[in-house]
């Protein structure tokens, strides 16, 4: 699924229940997160729908380096030779995207949360089992405004992974929250603002504390790594995520 202008000049590509975003500025694009391998053709169609060519993608920014956000990264580097940005704490994970820290055993979640089964099945169908890592990354530093199309400001939102960052687009009144705040938890099937279950979160207490960084943006539009965009303001989204707590 491709949806244009989920925030001004920000476009959503959703495949296998994983979100990527194209941030448009002039004739250039930044891709935020790289989804799963099965999204390759859809990404090409999305770029063409915007009247652009693949070469107009000037950078890839990773909120974090789990396998479902790194899926197209290696192929994009080979095809376009673009820089890939991630926090230095994510670089080893980007090279080995299945070796991530998590609090709880993953195998029990589908048994306890049957609503998650179709979500996880869609991710498997999109290539969740055959993601190749990427190396040679550029540094993503909290507090810095990146010199890439859209000029996102980096916000530290550690906890889901130890180097997870969100991206604030002040002129678009939007924050791309990655998996620090989602509206669909793939491991429980629950919807609405929340952090992701301990099956894929390194430190839930840290993840809940990091919601303060998202709240501080004051953005109207919250664009998550899983689930539908949220357009009712970041304050309400963060309150609900805190109330929902960890799973």
Tell me what pLDDT residue 179 has: 98
- Summarised one tens digit per residue, pLDDT across range 201-219 is 999 999 999 999 999 999 9
Q: 3-class DSSP state for residue 20?
A: strand
- Summarised one tens digit per residue, pLDDT across range 58-93 is 999 999 999 999 999 999 999 999 999 999 999 999
Reported as a pLDDT band with limits 50, 70 and 90, residue 109 is confident
Tell me what pLDDT residue 104 has: 84
Reported as a pLDDT band with limits 50, 70 and 90, residue 95 is very high
Tell me what pLDDT residue 232 has: 98
CB 183 within 8 A of CB 227: yes
- DSSP β-ladder status, 57-61 and 84-86: parallel
133 or 106, which is more confident: 133
- Summarised one tens digit per residue, pLDDT across range 5-38 is 999 999 999 999 999 999 999 999 999 999 999 9
In this prediction the pTM is: 0.96
Q: Which helix (H) or strand (E) holds 47?
A: helix 40-49
Structure tokens at 96: 């080995």
User: Does residue 39 surpass a pLDDT of 90?
Assistant: yes
- Domain boundaries of the chain, sorted by first residue: 2-244
Average pLDDT over residues 148-177: 98
Tokens 């004051």 map to which residue?
A: 218
Q: List Cβ neighbours of 215 (8 Å cut-off, separation of 6 or more).
A: 234, 235, 238
Residue 99 CA to its chain's centroid (Å)? 18
Ramachandran angles phi, psi of 171, nearest 5°: -75, -10
Closest C-alpha to 221, from 82, 21, 1, 35: 21
User: Does residue 228 surpass a pLDDT of 90?
Assistant: yes
Tell me what pLDDT residue 105 has: 83
Tell me what pLDDT residue 108 has: 75
User: Does residue 107 surpass a pLDDT of 90?
Assistant: no
Q: 3-class DSSP state for residue 2?
A: strand
- Summarised one tens digit per residue, pLDDT across range 142-157 is 999 999 999 999 999 9
**Strand-by-strand arrangement of the 57-61 sheet:** 2-7, 10-15, 18-25, 28-32, 57-61, 84-86, 138-139
Which CATH number is associated with domain 2-244?
A: 3.60.15.10
**17: left (phi > 0), else alpha (psi -120 to 50), else beta?**
left
Tell me what pLDDT residue 110 has: 76
CB 155 within 8 A of CB 166: yes
**Strand-by-strand arrangement of the 165-169 sheet:** 153-156, 165-169, 174-178, 221-224
Reported as a pLDDT band with limits 50, 70 and 90, residue 51 is very high
Structure tokens at 198: 């301990």
Closest C-alpha to 180, from 159, 202, 149, 163: 159
Ramachandran angles phi, psi of 92, nearest 5°: -65, -40
CB 94 within 8 A of CB 63: no
- Summarised one tens digit per residue, pLDDT across range 118-150 is 999 999 999 999 999 999 999 999 999 999 999
Residue 177 CA to its chain's centroid (Å)? 7
């Amino acid at each position: 699924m491709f949806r244009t202008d989920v925030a001004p000049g920000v476009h959503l590509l959703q495949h296998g229940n994983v979100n990527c975003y194209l941030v448009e500025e002039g004739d250039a694009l930044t891709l935020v997160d790289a989804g799963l391998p099965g999204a390759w053709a859809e990404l090409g169609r999305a770029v063409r729908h915007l009247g652009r060519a693949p070469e107009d993608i000037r950078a890839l920014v990773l909120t974090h380096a789990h396998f479902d956000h790194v899926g197209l990264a290696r192929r994009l580097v080979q095809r376009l030779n673009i820089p890939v940005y991630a926090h230095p704490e994510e670089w080893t994970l980007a090279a080995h995207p299945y070796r991530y820290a998590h609090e709880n055993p993953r195998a029990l979640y589908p048994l306890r949360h049957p609503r998650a089964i179709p979500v996880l099945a869609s991710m498997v169908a999109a290539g969740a089992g055959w993601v190749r890592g990427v190396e040679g990354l550029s540094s993503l530093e909290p507090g810095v405004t990146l010199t890439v199309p859209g000029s996102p400001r980096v916000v530290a939102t550690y906890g889901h992974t130890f180097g997870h960052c969100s991206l604030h687009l002040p002129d678009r009144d939007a924050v791309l929250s990655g998996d620090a705040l989602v509206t669909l938890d793939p491991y429980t099937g629950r919807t609405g603002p929340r952090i992701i279950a301990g099956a894929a979160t390194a430190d839930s207490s840290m993840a809940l504390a990091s919601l303060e960084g998202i709240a501080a943006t004051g953005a109207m539009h919250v664009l998550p790594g899983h689930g539908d965009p949220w357009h009712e303001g970041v304050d309400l989204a963060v309150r609900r995520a805190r109330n929902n707590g960890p799973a």
